[in-house]
Amino acid sequence: MKISLDGHYNYRRLILSSIPSIAMILVGSIYSVVDGLFVSNVVGTTAFAALNVIWPAVMLVGALGLMVGVGGSALVSKIMGEGDRERASLVFSMLIKFVIVLSLIFMVPMLILMEPLARLLGAEGEMVHQCVIYGSICTLGLPAFMLQMAFQSFYMTAEKPHLGTVMSIVCAVTNMALDALFILVFRWGLAGAAAGSMIACGVGGFFPLWYFKSGRNTSSLRLVESAPGQKWLDFEREPLLKACGNGLSEYVGNISFNILAICYNLQLLRMMGENGVAAYSIILYYGYMCAAVFFGYNIAVTPVIGYNYGADNRYELKSLLRHSLVVLLSFGGVMTILAEIFAEPAARLFVGYDADLTALSAHAFRLSMLSFVIAGVNLFFSAWFTGLNNGKVSAVLSFIRNLVLELGFVFLLPALLGPDGIWLAVDAADFVCLILGIGLILKYRKRYGY
């Protein structure tokens, strides 16, 4: 079906329109899982734990691309809804340039600080060496990685979500093929996993640069030269701040998630050692795939919200809110049931060589995934306010859910419940956040007319 931002979105159109974006994010999460499978089963538990100890630190910087992309797509779609498509392309182009500059600014400090950072995150002995290898190669790929994250949000705004899906599939196949080559054939270990991932990101980050600038571009957006009188590195302050403000919630959510991962790892290393980190890594991989459905849906619907907000179509805003809640509750219920059923097979897939670790992972898996029935709704509440160009409320929701509530429960619940408290922290945080999100939706109802 043809994808466009205008018109009425019923259940069928919402789901069909979101499938390309969901597939795009889901495929991206799957090749992260493949990395973990290769590393755990071929390189070993220490390398597997090292990958998951250092990756959150890389993501703290890489998620800036997501921030600019998600926030920028909400702003650009609003401008399109107001009828100024030429201005929309100018703002889009400026934001992509900004992502490139950000990636280059952070690259050198990250490379210099990689070893002390690994030690700060709890790595010791051989794990430090493995963290430095993986983290340094990923840091060298930051420009490609951040561009890929930014463009993921703009495919729907450009009314070309299918292009994003195709790119994700190409990147996934590239990454899996290179993992097999670098790890199984060349025996490069963790370095091979990192190199394969970053080369795949290069495909996903640099191809869109060419496409959106080329004559083959048939989308609603183009990468264009700066406005008359502007230099390449001249950035307009107002739209840049607006885009970053809009996307702040996604950045806060992402960095909070990675700060949480760091805290989980520190707690687990203290209480259970490498096995605890390995079990948590398996939960994260399944969580990535489930969250990919929610993130993909939000990436698809946020520009539609922004477009209708710019067009002052209040009837459609009400419809989008109501339909989205039903869709996401349904998705979440199915995912929770599947997680409970397939917890043990999923654990065996990663660590079947260790019976005790498999049992620990399956138990942790079942406890942690209970929250997915409402997690999608909580993530959507934040995306809703991003689409309405209210980055402040969106960021507050993400901050409270991820950094205040879950971080607090990570340290509080183990003191009350023992090791199981670690696995139940996300469930408790999502329950409290659901109540907060409903309250904010009701509070701002009159302002936005939904």
pLDDT in tens, the chain (450 residues): 567 888 899 999 999 989 988 888 888 777 677 788 889 889 988 898 889 889 888 988 999 999 999 899 989 999 999 989 999 999 999 999 999 999 999 999 999 999 999 999 888 889 999 999 999 999 999 999 999 999 988 998 998 988 988 998 899 899 999 999 999 999 999 999 999 999 999 999 999 999 999 999 999 899 998 766 666 667 899 999 999 988 887 787 777 777 777 787 777 777 777 777 777 777 877 777 888 899 899 989 999 999 999 899 999 999 999 999 999 999 999 999 988 898 888 888 877 777 888 888 888 888 888 888 999 999 999 999 989 989 889 888 888 887 788 888 988 998 888 888 888 998 999 999 999 999 999 999 988 888
Number of Cβ within a 10 Å radius of residue 389: 20
Residue tagged 């390189």 (tokens): 43
The pLDDT assigned to 111 comes to: 96
Rounded to whole angstroms, the Cα distance separating 361 from 48 reads 14
Residue tagged 């050198």 (tokens): 108
pLDDT in tens, 179-192: 999 999 999 999 99
Cβ atoms of residues 204 and 167 within 8 Å: yes
390 sits in the region (left: phi over 0; alpha: psi -120 to 50; else beta) called beta
The pLDDT assigned to 414 comes to: 86
pLDDT in tens, 37-62: 889 889 988 898 889 889 888 988 99
Residue tagged 């992309």 (tokens): 69
The pLDDT assigned to 419 comes to: 82
Chain-centroid distance of CA 127 in Å reads 26
SS (H, E, C) the chain: CCCCCCCCCCHHHHHHHHHHHHHHHHHHHHHHHHHHHHHHHHHCHHHHHHHHHHHHHHHHHHHHHHHHHHHHHHHHHHHHHCCCHHHHHHHHHHHHHHHHHHHHHHHHHHHHCHHHHHHHCCCCCHHHHHHHHHHHHHHHCHHHHHHHHHHHHHHHHCCCHHHHHHHHHHHHHHHHHHHHHHHHHCCCCHHHHHHHHHHHHHHHHHHHHHHCCCCCCCCCCCCCCCCCCCCCCCCCHHHHHHHHHHHHHHHHHHHHHHHHHHHHHHHHHHHCCHHHHHHHHHHHHHHHHHHHHHHHHHHHHHHHHHHHHHCCCHHHHHHHHHHHHHHHHHHHHHHHHHHHHCHHHHHHHHHCCCHHHHHHHHHHHHHHHHHHHHHHHHHHHHHHHHHCCCHHHHHHHHHHHHHHHHHHHHHHHHHHHCCHHHHHHHHHHHHHHHHHHHHHHHHCHHHHCC
The pLDDT assigned to 371 comes to: 87
Rounded to whole angstroms, the Cα distance separating 146 from 141 reads 9
Rounded to whole angstroms, the Cα distance separating 24 from 219 reads 18
The pLDDT assigned to 228 comes to: 63
Residue 8 neighbours by CB under 8 Å, 6+ apart: 316, 319
Rounded to whole angstroms, the Cα distance separating 431 from 378 reads 9
Residue tagged 């302002």 (tokens): 447
Alpha helices by DSSP H, 82-121:
85-112, 114-120
Q: What is the pTM of this model?
A: 0.74
Residue 354 neighbours by CB under 8 Å, 6+ apart: 45, 275
Rounded to whole angstroms, the Cα distance separating 37 from 351 reads 9
The pLDDT assigned to 388 comes to: 92
The pLDDT assigned to 1 comes to: 54
